[in-house]
Structure 1
Amino acid sequence: MKHRLAFLVAAAALAAGATAAHAQQVIKLTAVAGHPPAFLWVKLLDEFYIPEVDKRLAAAGNKHKIEWTKAWGGTLVKLGGESKGIADGVGDLGFVSTVFEAPKFPLQNVSYFTPFGTDDLGLVTRTVADMQKNIPAMADAWTKNGLVYLGGAALDTYHLWTKFPVTKYEDLQGKKISAPGPAANWIRNTGAVAVAGNLNSYYEDLKSGVSDGVIVFTTGAWGAKLHEVAPHITKVNFGAMFAGGIAMNKSRFDRLPPEVQQVLREVGDAYSAEFAKAQSAAAGTLMQNMAGAGAKVADLSEAERKRWADALPHVAKTWADDVTAKGLPGQQVLEAYMGGLTKAGVKLPRDWSR
C-alpha cells in the first residue's frame, strides 16, 4: 500500500511538472542593432528593455518565456539597414535609426527641419509618439515597412564646437562648419560654409583644418573628444532630435499572444522614458567633464538665438512642400510638432508651422 501511495504521489508530481512545462510557451526572438552597445540606445535595449520584458512576463504568471539572441554592432544587420533586416526576418526586433533611413521615414525626421526647438528629449519623443498615433501617415511608415513601433529615442540637443569663440551667428562668417545632413540648413544665411562629415571624421577634420567647427550633440562630441581640437563650446540649443526607436517584425508581432504584445509595448514606453532620463543626465555630466578638461563653455543668449533662427530661410516649409509633393501631410506634421512643443510650454524663437 505504501509503495502504491508513493508511486501515485510521484506520478502526480511528474504530471504536474509536465503540465507546468507544457503550459509555459517559449518564444525565440533575435534582437539586432547596427550600432554597438557603447551607444546608449543599444545599451538600454540590451540592459533595460530585454530584462524588463523578461521580468514582467515572469510576474504575469510565467506563462510565456522569451529566449533571446542578441546581435549588436552590425553583426546581423548593418547600420541604415535595420528596418529591412527586421522586416525580412533576419532579426525579429531591434533599434531602427529613422535619421539614417529618411526615405522610408520622412515624417519622423520633422525635428531635423525645425531647429531651435527644445532640449527636452522626453518631450520630443512623446510628441513624435503622439503624432504617430494621431497622424495615419506617420504610423503607416512603420506598417508599410513591415514593422511595429514599440518605443523611441531622441538625441540630446545639438550645440556648436569651434576653434574660435561665438557670441552671434555673424561670427561664423567665412568659417567651415561640419554640419551633416539636414543640420547644414541650420547655418544657411550665416556666412558659414557647410562641410560634410560624421562622428568618425570630425576630430581629424578639425585638427587638419578641413573644418573650423562642428554642429553636434554633447554625448557624441565627448565620445569623439572634439573639445580637444575645438575648445570653444557654444550652447546654441538647436534642439533634441528624434532619431528612431525599437521596432519589431510585424508578422512576428501579430502572431504573439496578446499579453506578450502588451508587455512589449508597455516596456517600449518605459524604455523611451528611461532613455530620455539617462541621455539627459549623461549630456549634463559630459558637458561638465569637457569644461573641466579646459573647454570654454558659453551660452548663446536667447536674443541671439532668436536672431539666428529668424535669419534662416524657411527650411521647414521647403521640407513640408517636398514631402507633400510625395503625397504626405507635411504641413499637418509641422503644425502637430510645433503644437506639441508649445502646448508643453516651450518658448520657440521661431514657429516653423507659419
Structure 2
Amino acid sequence: MKHLTGAMAIAMATATPMAAETIDVTIVAGHPPIFIWVKNLTEAFIPAVDAALEGTGHSIDWNEAYGGSLAKPGGESDAVAAGLAQVAYNPTLFNPSLYPLQNVAYVAPFGTDDPRLAAQIVTEIQAKTPAMMQAWADQDQVFLGGGFAIDSYHLFVTEPVNSVADMEGRRICAPGPTANWIQGTGAAPVSSSLGEYYNSIQTGVCDGAVVFATAAAPAGIAEVAPYMIRVDFGAPFAAGLSANADFYEDLPEEVRAALHAGADAFAEAMFSDQEDLIAGAYDKISADGGQIIDPSEEVRQEWAAALPAIPRDWAARQDAAGLPGTEVLRAYMDALRAAGETPLRDWDKE
C-alpha cells in the first residue's frame, strides 16, 4: 500500500485510469488510522474490493491519503467532488449543509444507542427518498454504501455534572450538529473536531467535549476531562463511502460492483470492531483516570426537556428549502418506535 501526500497524491488522483487494466484510485479520510473508520478502509474495504476484482481482468492501485494529508475531517466531500480523490470515507455529520437530511439523527437526539439500527434506518430512508440521494449527486458523488453510525455520544468534562444546571457557563467542544445538544443547557458549544479535543481541553479552550467512547479512548480524552457523564445522546448515522461521479460512471461494471461489495464489507467490519471496542473503550477510559458516571433517568429526561424544539425547526427549514424535512423526521421517528425504541422525546409530534 502506498500512503501518498501532497503533489504526488494529487498527480496520481488526476490520472485517467480507464484505458488500463490497473486503475489508480486515491482514497481519502481526514482522520488518522487510529480510528476504526480509517483503519477499516485499509483492513476491510480495500481487501474486499480487491477480492471482488479477482478474475475480472481489472485491478486497483490504491493510494491512501489519511490523517489530513489530502483533506481535513469534513473536507473529504470537497476532495472527491474536485477529483483530487476518487473514493472517500465521507463524514456527512461535518457537512450538514451539503447532506442535511442524512443528519436527521443529529437533530433528533435521545433516540437509540444501537449503531446498527441507526445506520439501517437512515440508509433505508435514504434509499426511498430521492432528495437524500440527490444530495450525493449535487456533490458530484455516488453513494457506495458503508453507512455507519457512531456509538452513543456522551459528555466528558473537567468537573462533574450532576444536573443540567451544572452545565451553566461551561464551554463544550462539539463537532458539527452535536452542538445542538448543548442548546438550552446554559453551556456554550465550541466548534471542534476529534483531533483537537485533547489540546482544546488541556489548554482551557473547552471545559469538556461531546464524544463517543470508541473515539474518546484512543484519543486519551479522559486524561484531560476525567468525568465521563454517560448522557447517552444516541448513536447517529454519521458517514458513508462515496465515489466521484464521473470516475464511477466511467468504470467497468465489474469495478462498480466491487466498490459496492467493498462498502458492504467495510460496514460489517466497522460494526464488528465497534462492538468489540466499546467495552474495551470503557476500560481504557478508566485506566486513563476517567470516572464513568451514569446520570439518573430523571437527569436524562431533564436534559431532553431542556433542549428547544430543534427537530421541528430543522424540519421546517428543510421544508422551506424544498426538501422533505418533516417527512424524513417522521419516517426516522416512526422507524425507531417500530424497532422497539422509546425516544425520550417524540420530536415529530411537537
Which band: TM-score by shorter chain? 0.7 to 0.9
Deviations 1:294-331 (A, max 9, x none): 32212223333223212211011111122222111111
Q: Are residues 70 and 177 of structure 1, via their aligned partners in 2, closer, same or farther at CA, if it must alter by over 3 Å?
A: closer
Larger radius of gyration: 1
Letter in 2 for 1:171: D
Partner of 2:93: 99
Q: Are residues 353 and 161 of structure 1, via their aligned partners in 2, closer, same or farther at CA, if it must alter by over 3 Å?
A: same
Q: 1:242 aligns with which of 215, 237, 241?
A: 237
CA-CA distance at 1:235 after TM superposition: 0.7
Deviations 1:112-171 (A, max 9, x none): 111112221111211121111000000000112111111222222110112333333233
Partner of 2:52: 56
2:286 maps to 1:285: no
CA-CA distance at 1:26 after TM superposition: 3.4
Partner of 2:30: 34
Q: 2:83 aligns with which of 82, 89, 107?
A: 89
Partners of 1:122 and 1:277 within 8 A in 2 = no
Instruction: List alignment gaps of at least 5 residues for structure 2.
Output: 1-19
Partners of 1:125 and 1:272 within 8 A in 2 = no
CA-CA distance at 1:352 after TM superposition: 1.4
2:134 maps to 1:170: no
SS at 1:353 equivalent: helix
Q: Are residues 138 and 157 of structure 1, via their aligned partners in 2, closer, same or farther at CA, if it must alter by over 3 Å?
A: same
Deviations 1:172-208 (A, max 9, x none): 2344433343323213222334344443443344345
Q: Are residues 333 and 178 of structure 1, via their aligned partners in 2, closer, same or farther at CA, if it must alter by over 3 Å?
A: same
CA distance in 1 between counterparts of 2:326 and 2:113 reads: 23
Give the 5 Å matches for 1:318-337: 318-337=313-332
2:225 maps to 1:230: yes
SS at 2:24 equivalent: strand
Letter in 2 for 1:86: V
Partner of 1:18: none
Structure 1 length as normaliser, TM-score? 0.85
2:312 maps to 1:317: yes
Partner of 1:46: 42
CA distance in 2 between counterparts of 1:83 and 1:229 reads: 32
SS at 2:229 equivalent: strand
Q: 1:116 aligns with which of 100, 106, 110?
A: 110
How many residue pairs were aligned?
Answer: 329
Partners of 1:178 and 1:214 within 8 A in 2 = yes
Instruction: List alignment gaps of at least 5 residues for structure 1.
Output: 1-23
CA distance in 1 between counterparts of 2:94 and 2:110 reads: 21
Partners of 1:122 and 1:273 within 8 A in 2 = no
Give the 5 Å matches for 1:110-189: 110-150=104-144, 151-189=146-184
Partners of 2:155 and 2:210 within 8 A in 1 = yes
Deviates more, 1:262-271 or 1:176-185: 176-185
Deviates more, 1:322-331 or 1:26-35: 26-35
Letter in 2 for 1:89: G
CA distance in 2 between counterparts of 1:41 and 1:179 reads: 19
Q: 1:69 aligns with which of 63, 68, 73?
A: 63
CA distance in 2 between counterparts of 1:200 and 1:223 reads: 11
2:346 maps to 1:351: yes
Deviations 1:86-119 (A, max 9, x none): 2332221121221222221111111211111222
CA distance in 2 between counterparts of 1:340 and 1:110 reads: 12
Letter in 2 for 1:313: P
CA distance in 2 between counterparts of 1:28 and 1:199 reads: 30
Q: Are residues 186 and 343 of structure 1, via their aligned partners in 2, closer, same or farther at CA, if it must alter by over 3 Å?
A: same
SS at 1:281 equivalent: helix
SS at 1:37 equivalent: coil
Partners of 1:108 and 1:242 within 8 A in 2 = yes
CA distance in 1 between counterparts of 2:173 and 2:62 reads: 40
Deviates more, 1:75-84 or 1:101-110: 75-84
Deviates more, 1:222-231 or 1:174-183: 174-183
Structure 2 length as normaliser, TM-score? 0.86
Q: Are residues 294 and 247 of structure 1, via their aligned partners in 2, closer, same or farther at CA, if it must alter by over 3 Å?
A: same
Deviations 1:48-69 (A, max 9, x none): 10111111222xx343322323
Deviates more, 1:290-299 or 1:72-81: 72-81
Partners of 1:57 and 1:263 within 8 A in 2 = yes
- C-alpha RMSD of the superposition: 2.2
